[in-house]
């Protein structure tokens, strides 16, 4: 590609990030027109231990959001309509959206059912503007699926993703190269890819709150504190993100987790439950034709403290008995015998990651590596 003014090769990429608005809830409203304009909460049962998967924007104005307990959502908005997830309908809508995206470029990288990155650098060499493509994509999604999407256009993934979030719902934002640094400066660090609650806390203790603070921190300080991730922080704070759009990126993990109606305190029951989950994970891996090398067990205690323990095996596995073989040891590490009685368990999960080096970090669990698959199963289980 040639730069118009200099006739020299230009290496500036054109990346679009598309993310559906209130995805599960929007599908429900489309399919049940009486729900249009209503606060709709998609998730588990508010009468038991259900969790909110998402909710319509009408419900968000009451303070409801993803991952909150459904019972809390009902307190915030008693008139909300609670619906159980219908994954088949969401998968079908997702496929329709991904087909539309792939009609513009084969460089489409889905991140979850409702979002994807597109690299349209090649598609714009004829003078078409990336923003024009983004507008057309939004219009086509709305026309062909009856759902709205927001889009962000920029010169790398990190900024395109921030841009799509900026004007939600049903919005579009372009961040051109000369606006990147100004856009980033005032943002809270938690907006950055890879910065979860534990990292926010560590950065905050170093006096780093905004991206500008991060930009003003020496590279050496960041790498000393955060290793390779520190280098990522250094670069992304400067609007540098060289990650390519990878159309065939592997799903990184498949997991199953469950919140119990009543906390568990019997270790035998816990281990049996994990073994059952290993069976579910195995079936899903088989369906997706995936194998993995890292098995992890997650436990959330009565006080909401959450631990994850992982084990990596030499050869890729998918069979239930292979996954199960890792469980007793992982379980003993996650939930050590002899914990006091209040340390009962409210959630258990089993995950197999297909990347040998998938990082499972006990504090910022999985913020870089987990795709939606895990949450979906949690909800399927609750419904």
Q: Where does this chain bind ligand TTP (CB under 6 A)?
A: 19-24, 53-54, 66-67, 114-115, 168-169, 372, 375-376, 379
Q: Which stretch binds Mg ion (CB under 5 A): 19-27, 213-221, 268-276, 308-316?
A: 19-27
State in angstroms the smallest separation of the CB of 287 from Mg ion. 22
Cβ distance to ligand TTP smaller for residue 119 or 373: 373
Taking the least distance from each CB to Mg ion, the nearer of 96 and 263 is: 96
Query: Do the annotations mark residue 19 as ligand-binding?
Result: yes
Closest distance to ligand TTP from the beta carbon of 181 (Å): 25
Verify binding: residue 331, Mg ion, rule CB under 5 A. Answer: no
Please report whether residue 20 would count as binding Mg ion according to CB under 5 A.
yes
| CA separation for the pair 53, 87 (Å, rounded) | 11
The strands making up 172-174's β-sheet, listed across from edge to edge, are: 108-112, 115-119, 15-20, 149-154, 172-174
Question: 24 vs 104, which CB is nearer to ligand TTP?
Answer: 24
Give which of Mg ion, ligand TTP, none residue 66 binds (C-beta under 5 to 8 Å, depending on kind).
Answer: ligand TTP
Shortest approach of ligand TTP to residue 215 CB, angstroms? 27
Nearer to Mg ion, 94 or 353 (CB): 94
Q: Pick the catalytic residue: 28, 58, 109, 115? A: 115
Per the annotation, the verdict on 373 as an active-site residue is no
Q: How far is the CB of 286 from ligand TTP (least distance, A)?
A: 23
Binding flag, residue 114, Mg ion (CB under 5 A): yes
* 28 touches Mg ion (CB under 5 A): no
**Whole-number minimum distance, CB 67 to Mg ion, in Å?**
13
Asked if 115 is part of the footprint of Mg ion (rule: CB under 5 A), the reply reads yes
| Whole-Å CA distances, 225 to 132, 179, 199, 218, 228 | 42, 29, 11, 11, 9
Q: Which of 16, 18, 23, 118 touches Mg ion by CB under 5 A?
A: 23
| Residue selected from 14, 17, 18, 19 as contacting Mg ion according to rule CB under 5 A | 19
Task: Report the nearest approach of Mg ion to the CB of residue 149 (Å).
Answer: 8
Residue 373 partner contact from Mg ion, ligand TTP, none using kind-dependent CB cut-offs of 5 to 8 Å: none
Q: Is 114 annotated as a binding residue?
A: yes
Q: Which is nearer to ligand TTP, 132 or 190 (CB)?
A: 190
Binding residues for Mg(2+): 19, 114
Binding residues: 19, 114
Residues at the interface with Mg ion (CB under 5 A): 19-20, 23, 114-115
Residues classed as catalytic: 115
């Amino acid at each position: 590609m040639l730069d118009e003014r200099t006739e020299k090769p230009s290496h500036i990429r054109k990346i679009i990030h598309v993310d559906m608005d209130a995805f599960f809830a929007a599908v429900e409203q489309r399919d049940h027109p009486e729900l249009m304009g209503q606060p709709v909460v998609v998730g588990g049962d508010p009468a038991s231990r259900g969790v909110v998967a998402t909710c319509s924007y009408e419900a968000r104005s009451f303070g409801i959001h993803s991952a909150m307990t459904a019972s809390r959502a009902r307190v915030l908005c008693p008139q909300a309509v609670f619906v159980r997830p219908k994954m088949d309908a969401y998968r079908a809508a997702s496929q329709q959206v991904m087909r539309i995206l792939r009609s513009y470029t084969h460089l489409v990288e889905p991140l979850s059912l409702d979002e994807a990155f597109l690299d349209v650098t090649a598609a714009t060499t004829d003078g078409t503007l990336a923003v024009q493509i983004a507008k057309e994509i939004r219009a086509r999604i709305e026309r062909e699926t009856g759902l709205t999407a927001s889009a962000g256009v920029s010169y790398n993934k990190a900024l395109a993703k921030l841009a799509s979030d900026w004007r939600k719902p049903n919005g579009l934002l372009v961040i051109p190269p000369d606006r990147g640094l100004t856009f980033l400066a005032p943002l809270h660090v938690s907006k950055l890819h890879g910065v979860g609650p534990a990292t926010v806390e560590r950065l905050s203790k170093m006096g780093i709150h905004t991206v500008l603070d991060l930009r003003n921190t020496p590279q050496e300080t960041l790498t000393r504190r955060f290793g390779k991730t520190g280098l990522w922080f250094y670069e992304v704070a400067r609007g540098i993100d060289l990650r390519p759009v990878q159309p065939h990126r592997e799903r990184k993990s498949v997991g199953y987790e469950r919140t119990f109606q009543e906390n568990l305190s019997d270790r035998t029951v816990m281990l049996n439950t994990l073994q059952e989950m290993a069976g579910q994970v195995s079936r899903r891996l088989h369906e997706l034709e995936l194998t993995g090398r890292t098995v992890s067990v997650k436990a959330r205690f009565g006080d909401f403290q959450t631990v994850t323990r992982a084990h990596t095996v030499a050869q890729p596995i998918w069979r239930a008995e292979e996954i199960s073989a890792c469980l007793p040891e992982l379980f003993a590490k996650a939930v050590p015998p002899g914990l006091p009685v209040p340390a009962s368990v409210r959630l258990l999960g089993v995950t197999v990651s297909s990347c040998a080096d998938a990082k499972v970090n006990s504090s910022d669990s999985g913020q870089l590596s987990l795709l939606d698959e895990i949450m979906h199963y949690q909800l399927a289980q609750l419904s």
